[in-house]
Amino acid sequence: MKKHLYIKTFGCQMNVYDSNRIADALKQLGYHQTDCKEEADILLLNTCHIREKAADKLFSEVGRLNEIKKKRATRGLDTLIIVAGCVVQAQGKEIFKKNHAIDLAVGPQSYHKLPQMIAEYLRAHNRLIEADFPAVSKFDFLPQTTHSEVSTFLAIQEGCDNFCSYCVVPYTRGCEYSRSLSEIMEEARALVQNGAKEIMLLGQNVNCWHGLDYEQKNEMDLGDLIYEVSKIKGLERIRYTTSYPSKITDNLINAHREIDKLMPYIHLPIQAGSDTVLKAMNRQYTVAGYLEIIQKFRTARPDIAISSDFIVGFPGETDADFEQTLAIAQHVQYAQSYSFKYSPRPGTPASLMKNQIAESVKKERLARLQKLLLEQQKAFNKRFVGQTIFVLFTTKGAKSGQWMGWTPYMQNTHVEAPNSLIGQILPVKITSATASSLSGTLIPDILNA
Ligand code: 5AD
Ligand code: SF4
């Protein structure tokens, strides 16, 4: 009988990538991915620890999955509940004590061991955890990807040595590691062969990627890597995320000038607009330095869309500091942004700082910032009404006959068409825009009208 695997992913794009690779690894054991929990022999949650809320979600979710497991048991069916990802790394064995329904737990650097762990569990019913940082990379053990999606992720770098004082990533994902050029190129080619038209190169500090060229002689940086990836026939679009401001090189900025396949979009989190707060966060740049980099991107590629992450209510943030965050957002005019209330994370230096900010203040600051950022996003999108823009179609829309895709500037766009547009890049005349999406008409429709 066919075996099934259900995966629910929380958190960042790296987790989405990891979930795809877990599916690749379990496919070799005969597990086929399904969206239906009730038919799944394995129920897997890939977790996130970045903010308190993200981690809290796990326990209610495990409870729900356990209900399904019990119902399946009445039909004589065995079900394995597996928890993967950053919460496992952070909590270690404690995770089993907090929730008895979890059968196996695996950290983000160890999921290549899942096939072995599943076999062991099925043999002896031992609850197992793997949350080491193994000396060898998981990538050496994973099978070649069979994942197929029009727009897909490829992890090129993982981990972080920056130790921002609020952040769990150095503890959950370990120290910085760059995959080799040949490994990345092999995976990129496989993804394109499986139908990818767009690849998003991923890393917690993606622009810290470095490696050697094929001759093992010269050092390469992210700009050089993008150039190599752009040579792959059939690949139409390249993106990368997330970048760390002070590590942006002129070579990467130049890549935006010179490589057509590289999309005009940069996610460059500033986090806060006050130098005092940036220093307390242990961010290695000043506001002036950040603005200089933005200016360089805009000179190289005047139409580039810029996005950022923000944290409000970091310990010690004064009203004046926060006003500076608003001012910087006003100055840059972001196309998209993600903003969060500061969330103290266990084990991080900022969680021990004495001058924590009251929840009510954080809430109020977040509301003010989000209002501004939403207005900016709407203004950015509205500029495109009346323009014709190329959209890469990736999925079906919510309504029948509706297709969704992405502009070069990462705007979600929908159009209506009788037949599937998935996988095509087509010119779309934009007819309306909201803060979160664009609507338009396919150009041939206009010509036929
Ligand atoms: N509290 C709130 N936001 C956080 N981020 C990371 N750690 C925290 C935290 N402790 C945000 C940052 C980061 C994004 C992925 O999540 O803005 O860029
Ligand atoms: Fe969450 Fe960070 Fe782990 Fe991604 S790397 S899942 S953002 S804790």
pLDDT for position 264:
98
pLDDT for position 448:
54
Ligand 2 centroid to Cα of residue 312, in Å, is 19
For ligand 1, atom 9: residue with the closest CA: 343
pLDDT for position 126:
84
Tell me which architecture the domain covering 388-447 has in CATH.
Beta Barrel (2.40)
Nearest atom in ligand 2 to the alpha carbon of residue 46 is 6
pLDDT for position 321:
98
Does 144-263 match 265-381 in CATH topology? yes
Q: According to the 3-state scheme, what is the secondary structure of the chain?
A: CCEEEEEEECCCHHHHHHHHHHHHHHHCCCEEECCCHHHCCEEEEEECCCCHHHHHHHHHHHHHHHHHHHHHHHCCCCCEEEEEEHHHHHHCCHHHHHCCCCCEEECCCCHHHHHHHHHHHHHHCCCEEECCCCCCCHHHCCCCCCCCCCEEEEECEECCCCCCCCCCHHHHCCCCEECCHHHHHHHHHHHHHCCCCEEEEECCCHHHCEEECCCCCCEEEHHHHHHHHHCCCCCCEEEEECCCHHHCCHHHHHHHHHCCCECCEEECCCECCCHHHHHHCCCCCCHHHHHHHHHHHHHHCCCCEEEEEEEECCCCCCHHHHHHHHHHHHHHCCCEEEEEECCCCCCCHHHHCCCCCCHHHHHHHHHHHHHHHHHHHHHHHHCCCCCEEEEEEEEECCCCCEEEEECCCCCEEEEECCCCCCCCEEEEEEEEECCCCEEEEEHHHHHHC
pLDDT score of 444 more than 80: no
Q: Who lines ligand 2 at CB under 6 A?
A: 11-12, 14-15, 48-50, 85-86, 168-169, 172-173
Render pLDDT for 60-102 as a digit per residue (tens, 0 to 9). Answer: 899 999 999 999 999 999 999 999 999 999 999 999 988 889 9
3-130 placed in CATH 1.10.1040.10: no
Give residue 20's Cα distance to chain centre: 13
Average confidence (pLDDT) over 125-136: 84
Residue tagged 């990891």 (tokens): 18
pTM of the model: 0.95
Pick from 222, 246, 169, 185: which is nearest to 12 by CA?
A: 169
Q: What is the mean pLDDT of the chain?
A: 95
Burial of 228-263, coded b for 16+ CB within 10 Å and e otherwise, reads bbbebeebbbbbbbbbbbebbeeebbebbeebebbb
pLDDT for position 1:
75
Residue 332 · residue 287 · CB < 8 Å: no
Taking the domains of the chain in order of start, what are their residue ranges?
3-130, 144-263, 265-381, 388-447
pLDDT for position 98:
84
CATH code of the domain made up of 144-263: 3.30.750.210
Strand 438-442 and strand 412-416: the pairing is parallel
CATH code of the domain made up of 265-381: 3.30.750.200
CA distances from 300 to 197, 254, 283, 304, 372 (A): 25, 7, 25, 9, 27
pLDDT for position 445:
59
Average confidence (pLDDT) over 419-437: 97
Render pLDDT for 166-225 as a digit per residue (tens, 0 to 9). Answer: 999 999 999 999 999 999 999 999 999 999 999 999 999 999 999 999 999 999 999 999
Pocket test for ligand 2, best of 58, 164, 173, 242 (most atoms within 8 A of CB): 173
For residue 449, give every residue at least 6 positions away whose Cβ sits within 8 Å of its Cβ, in sequence order, or none.
none
pLDDT for position 73:
95
Render pLDDT for 24-35 as a digit per residue (tens, 0 to 9). Answer: 999 999 999 999
Pocket test for ligand 1, best of 10, 56, 311 (most atoms within 8 A of CB): 311
Render pLDDT for 320-376 as a digit per residue (tens, 0 to 9). Answer: 999 999 999 999 999 999 999 999 999 999 999 999 999 999 999 999 999 999 999
Ligand 2 centroid to Cα of residue 75, in Å, is 36
**What is the spatial distance between Cα 385 and Cα 438, in angstroms, rounded to a whole number?**
8
User: What share of the chain in percent tops pLDDT 90?
Assistant: 89
